[in-house]
Copies of this chain bind each other. A is one copy, B any other.
Amino acid sequence: MSLLIVGTVAFDELITPFGESGKIIGGSATYASLSAAGIYNDISIVSIIGEDFPESKLELMRNKGIDTSGIHRVDGGKTFFWKGEYHNDMNSRDTLATELNVLADFDPVLPEKAKEAEYLMLGNLTPAVQMKVLKQMTKRPKLVIMDTMNFWMDIAMPELKEVLKEVDLLTINDEEARQLSGEYSLVKAAEKIFTMGPKYLIIKKGEHGALLFHGKNLFFAPALPLEEVFDPTGAGDTFAGGFIGHICKSDDHSFETMKQAIIYGSALASFCVERFGTEKLVDLDRSELHKRIMRFIDLTEFDMKLS
């Protein structure tokens, strides 16, 4: 078994009501792989970085068992950079800077081993780049999961729809599900999105939890109510990484396993937001993760006595 994650490896700079992060590492593939690595250990990344990205941070990923040989370093290039400021409620943010840098010319080339990955996670990237990855796979992965965002729906809907045809599971937020489907009801939105290709849909609702749709099956998991959300950056990618990590570890993508995977993803995301950037993910151990999963069980479990 093996998991290929394609996405960004980047620099972020975050301003929150609790302080400023300075320049730290971020990116969808960074968060997703560090999250998945808490559960599963045959992970490789395909991404692009500039000369300025510290080797020590790649080493940190490798120490977690992540194969970074598919991360292409562009000599003389600069790494993708995002700077944002969160407001008091931590639910809204302003982008202060987006510098695509080397990401603007990202033309992914998959190492031979990556082409045979059994599980593929396509992080939020230009649909054309996501398609290039799919076309290089020498065998159909057991499960292809993909993230995207409203931006691509606005400027590249035809290309996005082409990619969707090849995808098993799509992760988007509620507003994006409404935009993609043209339906306000999330139940109807899911039905419409199923006609576009995906057989599974995860609607991420941030602090309001996540919904998993598959045919007529439906599962909901809440986000863990927290005393303090310190930095929500990367929570969605961390969720997706934990989700696919559990699927890979189980080597099964039945609906029952996907339910567990949603809980893993939610638990990992709840750690992610407790510190700046990837800090908490890097430090996390298995027993902390298991304790937090128990809190999800406590939060949602009930014995029904029909009255």
- A288 CB, nearest partner CB in chain B, Å: 12
Q: How large is the interface on A (under 10, 10 to 19, 20 to 34, 35 or more residues)?
A: 35 or more
Q: How far is the CA of A218 from the CA of B222 in the complex (A)?
A: 12
Contacts of A209 in B (CB 8 A): 208-209, 220, 222
By beta carbon, the residue of chain B nearest A259 is B302
- Shortest distance from the beta carbon of A256 to any chain B beta carbon, whole Å: 7
> Interface SS of chain A: helix, strand, loop or mixed?
mixed
Whether the pair A187, B249 counts as a contact (CB closer than 8 A) is: no
Taking CB atoms, residues of chain B closer than 8 Å to A307 are 39, 246, 249-250, 260, 264
Pair A185/B227 contact, Cβ less than 8 Å: yes
Asked if A219 is at the interface (CB within 8 A of a chain B CB), the reply is yes
Which A210-254 residues sit within 8 Å CB-CB of chain B? Answer: 211, 218-222, 225-229, 246, 249-250
A113 to B188, CA, bound (A): 49
Docked-complex contact A298 and B218, CB < 8 angstroms: yes
- Return the CB mask of A80-97 against B: 1 if under 8 Å, else 0: 000000001110000000
Q: Is the CB of B259 within 8 A of A229?
A: no
Is the beta-carbon distance between A260 and B302 smaller than 8 angstroms? yes
Min CB distance, A221 to chain B, in Å?
A: 8
Which residues of A line the B interface, CB within 8 A? 39, 88-90, 184-188, 205, 208-209, 211, 218-222, 225-229, 246, 249-250, 256, 259-260, 262-264, 290, 293, 297-300, 302-307
Q: A188-B227, A300-B300 are in contact. List 16 more A-B contacts (CB 8 A).
A: A39-B307, A89-B184, A185-B226, A185-B229, A187-B226, A187-B227, A208-B208, A208-B209, A218-B298, A219-B299, A219-B300, A220-B222, A220-B299, A246-B307, A259-B303, A260-B303
